[in-house]
Amino acid sequence: MATEWTTETAEWYAAHYGEYATNSLAVDALDLPANAVIVDVGCGAGPALRHASQRVTTGALIGVDPVPRMVEIAQARAADHPAAARLEFRVGSAESLPVDDGVADFVFAFDSFDHWQDKAAGLAEVRRILRPAGQLVVVKDGGVPGGAKAAKAFVKRLTDAGFALAREETIEVDEVSFTLWICSLPESIDFR
């Protein structure tokens, strides 16, 4: 059954999984320039951006989550962080991102894609906010449920939305196993 994201589920998730290892492990697997602009869609408590800030030292780190309480938690956890001034969290959903056109070098969807209400609308929004050579990074803990056929259908959903798959990798560290997809946006695409 789909999770209903409310104040209560946000507090429960943040308390139990808010700093889950996938976030830092996935960030570690990426080549992030110091001046990157990253938008983390469905950012939860904000661990991925806090971790990314160690390498993204001059860029911008923007987390977006539709649950106001989740955004408050992310802001509270970032408040004493050394990169606090560059960490920003906004209320908004994948389907209507509160981000200007063409500003993001990377859009993260770490264990959030399956929670988007309207995947096509969310992917269109990702295309809108990415720079022409920007990248969408999707992470799923445990990979795609349903086996190889479901995994293929998931990739097709991304390519049908105009993304080119640049890298697909399953990463396993201790008890943690997740799959990461990096998709690029062909510069020629007309997203409007």
Ligand X SMILES: C[S@@+](CC[C@H](N)C(=O)[O-])C[C@H]1O[C@@H](n2cnc3c(N)ncnc32)[C@H](O)[C@@H]1O
Q: 55 or 115: whose CB is closer to ligand X?
A: 115
Other beta carbons less than 10 A from residue 150's beta carbon: 11
Q: 106 or 187: whose CB is closer to ligand X?
A: 106
In angstroms, give the least distance from the CB of 26 to ligand X.
9
In angstroms, give the least distance from the CB of 125 to ligand X.
9
In angstroms, give the least distance from the CB of 187 to ligand X.
26
In angstroms, give the least distance from the CB of 107 to ligand X.
11
Instruction: List b or e across 161-176, with b for residues whose CB sees 16 or more CB atoms inside 10 angstroms.
Output: bbbeeeeeeeeeeeee
Tell me the C-alpha distance between 127 and 10, whole Å. 27
Task: Report the residue number whose CB is nearest to ligand X.
Answer: 44
Tell me the C-alpha distance between 51 and 26, whole Å. 10
Task: Supply 3's token pair.
Answer: 């999770």
Q: In terms of DSSP bridges, do strands 176-184 and 164-173 run parallel, antiparallel, or are they unpaired?
A: antiparallel
Q: 132 or 177: whose CB is closer to ligand X?
A: 177
Residues that bind ligand X (CB under 6 A): 5, 13, 20, 23, 41-44, 47, 65-67, 70, 93-95, 110-112, 115-117
